[in-house]
Chain A
C-alpha cells in the first residue's frame, strides 16, 4: 500500500515539476512577443529613458494612431493582401491542371517534364533577381504590384504536393466518368478538384504565406513608399520615422495582426501543410 502511494506521490511531483518547467519554457519563448506589445503601449520618452521600467507607466494607444496617420501602414497591408491573394489565385490556376496532368494523364515526355519542373525547386531566387528586374524593366512593370506577384506564381513544391495527392484518387472514378461521356476538363472540375481539396488547401496556405512574407523581391521591384508591401514597409519604418522604438513596435504589431488571425483560423492546416511538404517533399 505504502509503496504504491509513494510511487504515486513521486509521479505527482514529477508531473508538477514538468508543468512548472513547461510554463517557464512557454514564458521565455513568448516573451519577445509580449515585449513587442508592451513597448508599443509606452510613450517614446519612457522607452528611451535612463530609468528603466518594465510596464508602461501610462499605457496608451498613441503609437497605433500615429502609425496609421503618419505612415502608409494601412495601404501597405492592403498591398500585401492584394499581392498575396493574386499570387495564390494565379498559383492555383496554373498549378492544379499540371499537377493533374502529372498525376493522371499518361502523355509522352511526362517524366522528363516533371523532373525539369522539380529542378526548378533547386534554383535559388536570388539568381533570378537581376534578369527578372531587367525583364520587368523592359515590360515597363517596375514599381508595380503585379511585378511583385508574377515571379512567385511558378511554385514547383505546390505542384509536387498536389500531384502526390491526386495520384491517390482511384482511376475507377475517372474511367466511370469517361464511360458516361465526360471529357478531361469535366473530370478535372467535377472529380479531381473536389476530391483533392485537402492538398489544394495546403497549397493555398503555403503560397499565401510565402507571398505575404516575401521581402527581397518587393524590396527590389517597388520603389514608391505608398506601393510597398507590409514587409518592406516595416523594414523601412526606421528610415521614414526616425528611430522611435515604441512606434516601430506598434507598426510591427499592426503588421502582424492579419497573420495572427490567419494562424488562429488555419492553425491545423498550416502545421499539417508544412509537415506534408516536408514528409513528401
Chain B
C-alpha cells in the first residue's frame, strides 16, 4: 500500500520485543509446566519421570475433589449474583435517580481497594466475638454467628465480601452497554405506552445481551481463579471447608514442594476452564444467531 515500504521487516522488528517477553514468560512456562507435570519433581531431589502418575493420583485424591468442589461452589454462587448486582447497579446509575452520578462512584469504589485490604476488612467485620455484624445481632437479641468459623457460613461469607468488592466492575461494563442503546428506542416505546418494566424487559435486557455474555465469560473466569479472599479470610478453613483449587495448587507446590503434582493440578484446572469457556461460547453464540 505504501510505496517502497518494508512491511515484513518492520512487522517483525516492531513485534519482536513483545514476542521475546511472551515467549519467555508465557509460551515457555506453559510448555515447561506440562513437562513438569509428568515428573516427580521437588526442589531438593532430582526430578524423576513418572508418566501419568500425577494425573492418576489426582483422580484418587479426596482433597483435590473437595477443593475443586469448593471452587465450583464459589463459581456457581458468585456468577449469577454478581451479574444481577452489576446489572441492577447499572440500571440505577443510568436511570432517572437524582444521585446517579454519585451512586456510580460509590458502587465502584470498593473495586479500587486491593483484595487483601477488602479481605482483612471483611474478616474483621465478620469476626465472631467483636465483629460489627455480630455486635448488631447481639443488640437485636440474637446469637453470635461464626461467619468465618462455621462450615455452614464460611463460603457464603467469602462470597459476600466478593460481591461488595467486585460488583462495581460489572456495573461499569453494563453501564457502558446500556449507554450504547439509542435513546430513540426508549422514546418510541414510551410513546407506544410501554411502562418502565416493559422497557427494561423488552429493550434493555435484549439489547444489552452482548455485554451480558461478555460479563458472564469474564466473571466465570475470574471466579474460577478465586484464591486471595479465601486465603486471607479463612485460610481455607474451617476444616478445609473453603479450600479452593488454587490454594491447594499453591500449598502443594510451595509448602510441600511437590511441583510435579502441583503442575498437573493446574493443568487440570486449565482444561476445565477451557471446556467451560468453549461451552459458553458455543451455547451463547448459537443463541445469538437464533
Contacts and interface: CB of A to CB of B under 8 A. Distances in A.
Contacts of A137: 43
A94 B17 contact: yes
Contact of A171 (B1, B12, B21, B232): B1
A216 B1 contact: no
A159 B26 CA distance: 15
Interface string A84-112: 00000010011101101110011110100
Contacts of B17: 93-94, 97-98
Interface string B218-257: 1001001101100110000000000000100110011000
A215 B117 contact: no
Interface string A160-183: 000000000001001100100000
B221 to A, nearest CB: 7
Interface of A: 15, 18-19, 22-23, 25-26, 29-30, 32-33, 35-36, 39, 47-49, 52, 90, 93-95, 97-98, 100-102, 105-108, 110, 113, 117, 120, 122-135, 137, 150-151, 153-154, 159, 171, 174-175, 178, 184, 188, 209, 212-213, 215-216, 219-220, 230-232, 234-235, 237-238, 245, 248-249, 252, 255-256, 259-260, 262-263, 267, 270-271, 274-275, 278-279, 281
Given A97-B18, A129-B253, A133-B253, A25 B103 contact: yes
Given A36-B121, A154-B26, A231-B115, 5 more contacts: A120-B26, A123-B270, A135-B32, A230-B114, A259-B114
B120 A234 contact: yes
A216 B26 contact: no
Contacts of A23: 99
A102 B6 CA distance: 15
B214 A281 contact: yes
Instruction: Identify which of B7, B15, B130 gathers the most chain A CB atoms within 10 Å of its CB.
Output: B15
Interface string B1-21: 111110110111111011111
B172 A248 contact: no
B71 to A, nearest CB: 11
Interface residues of B toward A: which range?
Answer: 35 or more
B203 to A, nearest CB: 19
18 contacts: A19-B99, A25-B103, A26-B106, A94-B17, A97-B17, A107-B8, A108-B8, A126-B246, A130-B36, A131-B32, A135-B28, A150-B25, A171-B1, A188-B14, A216-B227, A235-B116, A275-B176, A279-B173
B216 interface: no
Shortest Cβ-Cβ A-B pairs, 7 listed? A107-B11, A275-B176, A131-B29, A101-B14, A131-B33, A278-B173, A131-B32
Contacts of A95: 18
B114 A275 contact: no
Given A129-B253, A134-B32, A101 B10 contact: yes
B114 A106 contact: no
A90 B21 CA distance: 10
B186 to A, nearest CB: 19
Contacts of B225: 124-126
B254 A133 contact: yes
Contacts of B109: 29-30, 33, 263
A275 B117 contact: no
Interface in B66-92: 92
A260 B112 contact: yes
Given A126-B225, A130-B262, A151-B25, A105 B11 contact: yes
Contacts of A231: 114-116
B190 interface: no
B147 interface: no
A259 B113 contact: yes
Given A26-B103, A32-B122, A259-B114, A127 B14 contact: no
Contacts of B274: 122
Given A98-B18, A127-B266, A213-B114, A105 B124 contact: no
A48 B130 contact: yes
A262 to B, nearest CB: 8
B38 interface: no
